[in-house]
Amino acid sequence: MTTLREGFKEARQEAHDRAKGEGWAMTPVYGGPQKKRYYLPDGREVMALPSMRDYVKREGKVVVESGTRDANYDKGWLETPPQNLKVTCIHCDRWHDTEDDVVRCGTQRNAMVQKQEQAYRKRFKIGDEDDVIKLKSEVQELREMLKKVLEKV
């Protein structure tokens, strides 16, 4: 049985592997004519297919801007090599200015995961593991009591 925490870890690993499949791991530079060179904030280069998306920008009901944009830039990828290298974050797979920010990101994420876990436990009425152990020993006690009662009959 996988615990909730392991499940979260697995999901994150999966997301990480997916990101790698999108071209993070330095795949050949001659990757075909459609691929484009991007730079990651930590200085690495990536060859990947542009991820073009239509977009519409509205102010109220009026369209003020529309067109297509490359969603790869939304991930933080850059068109030119970064001037100030950032630190790759092992927690969110994005980039932060300093190692301290990475540590902070981890702390925030852990707090968030814990909060989600608590909400999940509450929602599905899952007790702490301690509660389960307590419950098991209580059931055992009841069994023994029942046995004794039945023996007397």
CA distances to 18, 74, 115, 117, 120 from 4, in Å: 21, 30, 12, 7, 9
- Radius of gyration (C-alpha) of the chain in whole angstroms: 26
Min dist CB 76 to Zn ion, Å, is 11
* 46 forms part of the interface with Zn ion (CB under 5 A): no
- The residue within the footprint of Zn ion, chosen from 4, 78, 85, 92 (CB under 5 A), is 92
* 113 forms part of the interface with Zn ion (CB under 5 A): no
- The residue within the footprint of Zn ion, chosen from 47, 78, 87, 105 (CB under 5 A), is 105
Min dist CB 90 to Zn ion, Å, is 8
For residues 79 and 39, the answer to whether their CB atoms sit within 8 Å is yes
Taking contact as CB under 5 A, which single stretch among the options 12-20, 22-30, 104-112, 138-146 is the one that binds Zn ion?
Answer: 104-112
Give the Cβ contact number of residue 38 at 10 Å. Answer: 21
User: How many chain residues are in contact with Zn ion, going by CB under 5 A?
Assistant: 4
What 3-state class would DSSP assign to 71?
Answer: helix
- The residue within the footprint of Zn ion, chosen from 91, 104, 113, 121 (CB under 5 A), is 91
For residues 109 and 117, the answer to whether their CB atoms sit within 8 Å is no
Q: Applying CB under 5 A, which residues contact Zn ion?
A: 89, 91-92, 105
